[in-house]
Chains A and B, each alone.
Chain A
Amino acid sequence: MYLKSLKLINYRKFSVKQNEIEFISSKLVKTDKKIENQDDENIIEDLEVASNEEISDVDVASDTTLIIGKNNAGKTTIITALDTLINHGKFGINDFNYRYLQQYLRKYNVNDNKVDLPFIECVFTVELEENSDDRISNLIPFMLVEDVGSSELKICVRYEIADASFFKSEMEKLFSEGTEQVTFSRFFELLGSTDFDLNYYDKNENKIDSDFKISNLIELQCIKANHLNSDHCLTEAFNKIIKYRYEHTFPNEKKEIDKKLKEVNRDLSVNISKNHTDIVQRVLEKLISMEHMGVQLNADITFDKLLRDLIKYEYIEENANVPEDQFGLGYTNLVMIIATIIDYIEKYPDSSFNSKINLISIEEPETYMHPQMQELFIKNINEAIKFLLSSKNKNVNSQIIITTHSSHILNSKIHSANTFNNICYLSENQFNAVAVNLNNKRIVPKENEDEKSEEFRFLKKHIKYKVSELFFSDAAIFVEGFAEDLILPYYIEKSEKLNKRYISIFNINGAHGFLYKRLVEALGIPVLIITDLDIKREDEEEGESIDDNKAKSIASYAQIDSLNGKKTTNATIIELKGDSNLSNISSYIEKDNLYLTYQGKINGYYATSFEEALILTNYNNEIINNILKELKPRIYAHVVGTVPDYRKNIDNSYKWQVKLANCKGEFASKLLYQIVNEDLEEKIPQLPKYISDGLNWIEKKLGGK
């Protein structure tokens, strides 16, 4: 059995929606499994096993639940909830979601005798495996007859008011002074003096009256961030393990040592008493009257002391020993985590069946680690546990939960497990935590396809370098070209509202924004996709296909002033709009947290690209004109004439688009150079309207907070 999910209701940042965190079962069992030659080259190389030979392996990566999110998103809250319930057995009123309490107070009706009472609830869903030998005595109180046929079981833990009628009468007193007197702080004070109980319920909402405690069923070992509290913490950690091993694995050897220690103590004591006790006694006699007192000096070396003081840990680095305190913090941290796991596995009972669920939580292991080390973290843990188990004959039935805000650890999880499964993404919405449980099924680009689809593989590959941009940003912008990618950050930096936010810009070459659609939907962050209309041109009006680099010499560069009868070739537009018809397209498409924008009519014409839209918008801007002149002096002269008529740029926008096709990069970098060095605000070109509208949308979305 294992913990399948945890739902937190009204607990701290969690409210009643999107408050369930899923966990993966992980049996750290040595399995002889065939490692297939993965054709996905993204697996971290070290993990890759080239041959098909049968090896004994532990797959920690895929059997670990990763909880990720920005700071203050609620990662620690989840572990705290588990830790509080399991290891301390009670909540406090500070564990309430304050917003819930505020709302509760607002809606409180003194005259309603049946009024609900404030509560915090945690629902544990336990999965029972069909053929497991685990003892379920702890679970039976929560089971119904029908649960025998299912594999899931719910255990509700509710923190609720111990005496309902007393609470109601106190509330009555509070309200009797007039509703306007009832402030939150007074209500909270009342709650503070109210007794609460922790009760258990089955899924029929019937209270379980036995003396069950969640700690009977679940054990939790926390490895906290900042556990490096002294220079010798490693020594201490390993001492614990060695002591345990002596006591339980090598009791005879320990007896031997104890015997020897006794001898040493005796010898030393004899020696001390012979050579030193007299002196001490005499010195003391001079100070105080020692008539009735004597001094006995004994040696007192014990096994514990021996371990604590006599064992020295040094690390061997290229044949040179390095003492513990010279060791890098990052390594110490990693070794500490592993030491705790060793300790855990050592102590894990040897019996063949369990009646408990074991959780190990590792909080923010990335502390002190440099990025590459973070990337290898999961692999290192994997190796360590594999090694530990190889010398043992026990199955450790534990679920590992890692909370992190490191994109590298997330990356290492995604790519060593080669999946998006078992990642719980936390974010914030209206001050409440929002938990999203990712899995491949949920984010494969096309709903009815599976993990083997080409699009999914592309997504995995592409995201590798973009993980942090996506998972840890407040909003994301997908763009199609180099120019947007280069120039947009400047404009975002200028916006007072947006520059305080973390907004990632993704340059998705080609119109592949829709591949991310389901992933960003799942993550719930606002995503702006800036794409091009990609109007399909009939032969006669096609100047030069943007898809085709071989220039065709066609004399006229027809401007498009109407979308009637026009179709788009843009996959993202087609996907989101549902068809390719442009005649009836709105100026943008908004779906939940997704906003798709593309060129509208600018100064009478529809632009084909960002550059064209920029030129149309800023046809008379000095900077733009200078750059065009510099890049293509002959064409420029031809377009605007000898006495420059900037308006001509409008009618020739498509020509510019075609002519710039081979030097878009240069155009963009020159533009950026110019505007960065321009001091006068009014001289800086304006963003085309469709883009500034999109940015406004993001502002609005983020402004809600």
Chain B
Amino acid sequence: MGLSKISNEDLDKEKEILNQLFRYSDKFESAVFNSGAGSGKTFALVECLKYIVEKNRDRLKDHNQKIACITYTNVAANNIKEQIGASDIVDITTIHDRIWHIISGQQSALLSLHIEKLDNEVEELDEQLLNNSDYEKYRELNKDLQEHFFQLMLKNKNIYNKAYHLKAKEFKDAMPVEIREDYATLISNVSKFKGLVDKLFKKKRDLDCLEKIIKGEKGYKEVSYDPMYNRDRLDKMRISHDTLLEYGFTLIQKYPKMRQIVIDSYPYILIDEYQDTANIVVKIMNSIEQYAKEIKHDIFIAYFGDSLQNIYDTGVGTKLKQLHPNLATVTKLYNRRSYTEVIDVANKVRNDEIHQKSIYSDSQGGSVKLYSGNQAVVSKFIDLCVKQWDIDMKNPLHCLFATNQMVADYSGFSNVYMAFKNAGVYQGIGYKQLNTELLSHDIIRLGKVQSLLYRLIKVYTEVKEKKQALRDILPTVEFRNMSFVDLKNLIIMLQSLKGNTLDELLVDMLGKYKMSSDKTYKLIIEKIFDIDEISYEGVLKYFLNSLYDSYNEEMETKQIIGEILNLKITEILCWFHYVNRDENKEIYYHTFHSTKGLEYENVIIILGKDFGQDKGLFELFFKEYGKDIVQDLPKHERYERGRNILYVVVTRAIRNLRILYIDDLDGIKDNMEKIFGKVEAFSI
């Protein structure tokens, strides 16, 4: 067993680095703790929390103040919670939960923001109705006719919804005669017609909502946020993750009092993985600190992370110090994760002033090897490593793939991946989103349909899980008012939901929704689908509109989204478990992005010249490695991107690391060998 001995000298040095940080906290000088992958960033964060607690607990308790620790994901939050144990003065959450916690009490301010947002949405709809060429025919009608048409559609809403999924001709036939005849010009193009009607309905919902807010009707007095849902339903008073940050930012910008509330409630704010944090969050922090100085209150903000590990486009990355100037810097060079062999390779990939060294005196014993091969040998290569490293459940293997398709194939959900990949919204420039919206392990980042599928499969599997707590299935009091018999019947009903394909499952679920009189069942289904019209047709419409911006109106909806509907439940389950990472396996497959922050004993990286749609990214990195290309800005940016991603994946390994390069080595072989050592050809 390696990685167990630390010399006192190294321990003292590490402690000294931490002490620098502690001193900044004592002086309320905000700081950034920069450290490479595996340097025990979380360790430092936890030590820092403990230090602040030990030193200031009594004072914080007295003033009813707390320490805020902000993580990138819930998984990371739980991990830190476990390490520091119970605490009544440390709040560890994601940024969304924290901001919601802070602003949810400011309902009147929120409400006015919400009204503003609704007004904007209505304005935007009006603007489209006025200017978008799709609605030219509608504009030609006079005001009275427009109103008459709207009222007519409102009356026939059900017919409209039912017919929505029919082919264009059948759709027209299904519409009432009055529409077909009096508004023939509108309905001649069915998709424009649908677009128009949907916009009108949406506007109506927004206006209704505004009216109810002003009247102060029940359910319209408060804005709500639920981490399970990642889209706005403004007319239902619910906001999404992004809107939450937006509201939070606006409130803090607008009201000095809000800034003071944050400062006085959380005199210590520690932010984990700062490089991935959204710009807006750093802006919030900066304005909070500025204000604190103004009113002479103490605040300590510390960012923990490594700008080099910024792999999300949305993250602040190296821009941190621009957005939040005057931060003190503490840098840690010790590595607490990997064996020396791995650290050396990582240092080479990094190739900058940060040169990590293991803190352990017994850190020899890892191995890194580069192989060349092609797509066809990948599974053979994996097999070989399994044998070589005695892979089993207790000593699993982690395969990191540069392409999403391969992760999906190996994890058993290729068709799920294909179905979404083929959907309209992920074509062309939209493809970039597919990685996050389908393969993210953080459910708040899943796409709309994926998120719905996730909620659906969650309930579907949870009711079959003996040790599953019912409070997750029945999350609030409104679900729980029932007798024991009612509960039994409900669970039996939920357990009985079945279907081989998604389509069959939807039919079963929604059929029972229609027939059942069980209020809680209905509530559960409503929460899963979270759409206005809970019915099979309604779900299809939601799928269609979320996955396609435009479509062939000569096709039925069922045809267009057929690929999704026909997905096998077993395959969707594979996807679900992939997202949750909740299965014990011998071999795990990951995308490059999804492994951030994690560490594995045994790692295989399947690498090629491309990174997904980013053609030639890694080829470029290896080609330009060690050269001075700062002048060529676009090239340099791509180089950095390639480097960051490669750095992140390489540093996941603790002991064993294999890289299989499956493209041509021409022109990059020398540089690759500089980093990884001699390349060996791998063939069957």
Contact = CB atoms under 8 A, between A and B. Distances in A.
Interface of A: 1, 117, 128-137, 140-148, 160-166, 168-169, 195, 197, 202, 204, 206, 208, 210, 353
Nearest to B470: A143
Interface centre among A1, A162, A197 (most CB of B within 10 A): A162
A210 B471 contact: yes
B471 A141 contact: yes
A140 B481 CA distance: 9
Given A144-B467, A144-B469, A195-B61, 20 more contacts: A117-B85, A128-B484, A137-B477, A137-B480, A140-B470, A144-B470, A145-B462, A145-B464, A145-B470, A146-B467, A161-B86, A162-B87, A163-B53, A163-B87, A163-B89, A165-B53, A165-B85, A165-B87, A197-B88, A204-B469
Given A130-B485, A145-B463, A169 B50 contact: yes
Contacts of A197: 86, 88
Interface centre among A133, A141, A195, A197 (most CB of B within 10 A): A141
Contact of A145 (B49, B88, B491): B491
A165 B484 contact: no
B481 A206 contact: no
Contacts of A148: 470, 487-488, 491
B181 interface: no
B546 interface: no
A555 to B, nearest CB: 80
A142 B88 CA distance: 23
Contact of A164 (B85, B464, B466): B85
Those 8 A-B pairs whose CB atoms lie nearest each other, nearest first: A164-B85, A137-B480, A146-B466, A162-B88, A143-B470, A169-B54, A141-B471, A140-B480
Contacts of B470: 140-141, 143-145, 147-148
A162 to B, nearest CB: 4
Given A197-B86, A204-B469, A137 B482 contact: yes
B16 to A, nearest CB: 20
Contacts of A161: 86
Interface of B: 49-50, 53-54, 57, 61, 84-90, 462-471, 473-474, 477, 479-485, 487-488, 491
Contacts of A169: 50, 53-54
20 contacts: A132-B483, A135-B483, A136-B483, A140-B470, A140-B480, A143-B471, A144-B467, A144-B469, A144-B470, A145-B466, A146-B467, A148-B488, A163-B90, A164-B85, A166-B57, A166-B87, A168-B85, A169-B50, A195-B61, A208-B471
Contact of B57 (A117, A132, A163): A163
A145 B468 contact: yes
Interface centre among A141, A165, A197, A208 (most CB of B within 10 A): A165
B201 to A, nearest CB: 36
Contacts of A140: 470-471, 474, 479-480, 487
Contact of A135 (B86, B482, B491): B482
A133 B463 contact: no
B488 A166 contact: no
A156 to B, nearest CB: 13
B469 A206 contact: yes
Interface centre among A117, A137, A145, A162 (most CB of B within 10 A): A145
Contacts of B487: 136, 140, 143, 148
A161 B89 CA distance: 12
Contact of A134 (B88, B466, B483): B483
B482 A136 contact: yes
A204 B465 CA distance: 13
B97 to A, nearest CB: 12
Contacts of A353: 483
A148 B482 CA distance: 13
Given A140-B474, A141-B471, A146-B467, A163 B88 contact: yes
Contacts of B488: 148
A553 to B, nearest CB: 77
A299 to B, nearest CB: 46
Contacts of B483: 132-136, 353
B469 A165 contact: no
Contacts of A129: 484
Interface centre among B50, B88, B469 (most CB of A within 10 A): B469
B491 to A, nearest CB: 5
B621 to A, nearest CB: 41
Contacts of A147: 470
Interface centre among B49, B85, B462 (most CB of A within 10 A): B85
Given A141-B471, A169-B50, A130 B86 contact: no
Contact of B54 (A135, A141, A160, A165): A165
Provide the main secondary structure of the chain A interface: loop
A165 B467 contact: no
A624 B68 CA distance: 89
A562 to B, nearest CB: 65
A468 B477 CA distance: 50
A523 B345 CA distance: 71
B481 A135 contact: yes
A208 B469 CA distance: 10
Contacts of A144: 466-470
Nearest to A173: B54
A191 to B, nearest CB: 15
A529 B488 CA distance: 53
A202 B488 CA distance: 19
Nearest to B489: A148
Contact of A131 (B84, B89, B464, B485): B485
Contacts of B462: 145
B87 A164 contact: yes
Contacts of A136: 480, 482-484, 487
Contacts of A164: 84-87
A132 B483 CA distance: 7
B44 to A, nearest CB: 15
Contacts of B477: 137
Nearest to A165: B50
A1 B483 CA distance: 10
Nearest to A163: B87
B50 A160 contact: no
A129 to B, nearest CB: 7
A212 to B, nearest CB: 10
Contacts of A131: 485
Contacts of B480: 136-137, 140
Contacts of B474: 140
A204 B468 CA distance: 9
Interface centre among A1, A140, A208 (most CB of B within 10 A): A140
A164 B82 CA distance: 11
A166 B469 contact: no
Contact of A163 (B86, B463, B469, B485): B86
Contacts of A168: 85
B101 to A, nearest CB: 13
A204 B467 contact: yes
A165 B45 CA distance: 14
A147 B473 CA distance: 14
B150 to A, nearest CB: 43
Contacts of B464: 145
Contacts of A206: 469
Contacts of A128: 484
B63 to A, nearest CB: 15
A202 B469 contact: yes
A143 to B, nearest CB: 4
Interface centre among A130, A166, A195, A353 (most CB of B within 10 A): A166
A405 B31 CA distance: 67
A132 B484 CA distance: 7
Nearest to B50: A165
B148 to A, nearest CB: 49
Contact of B467 (A134, A145, A160, A195): A145
B609 to A, nearest CB: 46
A303 to B, nearest CB: 37
A169 B481 CA distance: 45
A66 B598 CA distance: 57
Interface centre among B462, B484, B487 (most CB of A within 10 A): B484
